[in-house]
Amino acid sequence: MRITFFAAKSYDRDSFNKIKENYPELELEYWEAELSPKTAAYVTDSEAVCAFVSSDVGGEVIKVLHDRGVKLILMRCAGFNNVDLDAATKYGIKVMRVPGYSPEAVAEHAMALAMAVNRHLHKAYVKVRENNFSLQGLVGVNFYGKTAGIIGTGRIGAAMARICHGFGMKVIAYDMYQNPDLDFVTYVDLDELLASSDLISLHCPLMDSTYHLINLETINKMKDGVILINTSRGGLVKTDDLIAGIREHKFFGVGLDVYEEETKNVFENHEDDILMHSTTARLLSFPNVIVTSHQGFFTEEALGAISETTLNNARAYIKGETAGTELN
Ligand code: NAI
């Protein structure tokens, strides 16, 4: 079976090529182009396409892929809010994903963002490089003894909870399902979490029910001087309201690995740089905000696990077996 990869970067090729010989039944074809109705129309002789979290896997694309003979969409990521699953089912296309590859990779990045905004590492780095060793403006707070509020205690939220526990923080969480492995965590309702946490980290998926979970109303319920971290999905936070909260000095710091505009395809591919626009760029103007470019998953271990699960998904599909990673 031939798989056409969309938005394939050099690191994707490297990690998939490393294990390719273990899957002689699969032929991998890498395209740099992102998936869109236009590029989907060029798919030829591929029963499967492999897409990413940034890909447009909406109804129009799915219809084109169906017309090109595609039967399988392999998402090389966990999130799938960019996939029109109803359309895929309607056109008889199976969608599979990589549900968990390295929760620690994302959780460690969430803590890296929290540490960086807390201790102003982004400012300290620039200052010292300019030969300015003054401590002015760099005071942070101890995480030890403070309260971490984790929203969503699945794989990544649980890893983040363990990290915060290791820092000596009191860990509280909000989730409709209590994770039995987290006996050190106290589950509370959302309002209590917002009101009690010094550090709030978002780890729930983006769904209708979680869209703009962080808005002016929920921001107003937070403690003054809270640190907010989002490594989950941009749509969980209403950016305009976040900017209003930052302006009112609600936050000690904000760390974002994901932003709303990712899902609206407003990125402009400019050679190898990805340029950002409008509201995300406005966020960058605040000195207590750190933005990274959706790199939470980006470790060697996670890339290895992603390629292995993706190719195992393709193999299971060929054999007609259930992999447990099917979305429809
Ligand atoms: P998971 O499915 O293991 O856990 C999600 C948890 O959120 C579950 O316990 C679920 O009950 C809970 N949840 C659902 N609705 C909720 C709500 N309204 N309020 C509170 N909790 C709620 O997912 P996992 O693997 O932990 O991933 C979490 C998210 O992280 C993904 O949905 C994805 O958006 C994001 N992610 C980000 C990456 C990055 O590179 N920054 C990489 C991978 C995932």
Question: Residue 149 pLDDT > 50, yes or no?
Answer: yes
Distances (CA, A) of 77 to 56, 74, 294: 14, 9, 12
DSSP letter string, 20-71: GGG-TT-EEEE--SPP-HHHHTT--S-SEEEE-TTS-BSHHHHHHHHHTT--
Nearest to 316 by CA among 89, 91, 92, 74: 74
Mean pLDDT check: name the lowest of 3-17, 90-104, 276-290. Answer: 276-290
pLDDT at residue number 257: 96
Mutate to test the pocket of ligand 1, among 174, 185, 232, 297 (most ligand atoms within 8 A of CB): 232
Confidence (pLDDT) at 261: 77
Give the pLDDT confidence score for residue 53 in this predicted structure: 85
**What are the pLDDT digits (tens) for 273-315?**
555 567 788 898 999 999 998 999 999 999 999 999 999 999 9
77 pLDDT more than 60: yes
Q: Whose CA is nearest to atom 34 of ligand 1?
A: 232
pLDDT given at position 130: 97
Among 233, 260, 261, 308, the one annotated catalytic: 233
- The atom of ligand 1 lying closest to the CA of 176 is 11
Is residue 147 over pLDDT 70? yes
CA distances from 39 to 12, 27, 69, 114, 153 (A): 19, 19, 14, 38, 37
Name which residue sits closest to atom 35 of ligand 1, judged by CA. Answer: 232
Mean pLDDT taken over the chain = 94
**Where residue 268 falls among pLDDT bands split at 50, 70, 90?**
very low
Active site residue 262: yes
- Does ligand 1 come within 6 angstroms of the Cβ of 82? no
Amino acid found at 323? A
Sole residue written with tokens 């990712």: 262
Lowest mean pLDDT among 12-16, 17-21, 97-101, 208-212: 97-101
| β-strand pairing of 268-270 with 273-275 | antiparallel
What would the two tokens of residue 269 be?
Answer: 């591919």
pLDDT at 78: 86
Q: Which atom of ligand 1 is nearest to the CA of 81?
A: 34
Token pair, residue 67, equals 């017309």
- CA of residue 171 to ligand 1 center, whole Å: 17
**How many whole angstroms separate alpha carbon 303 and alpha carbon 206?**
22
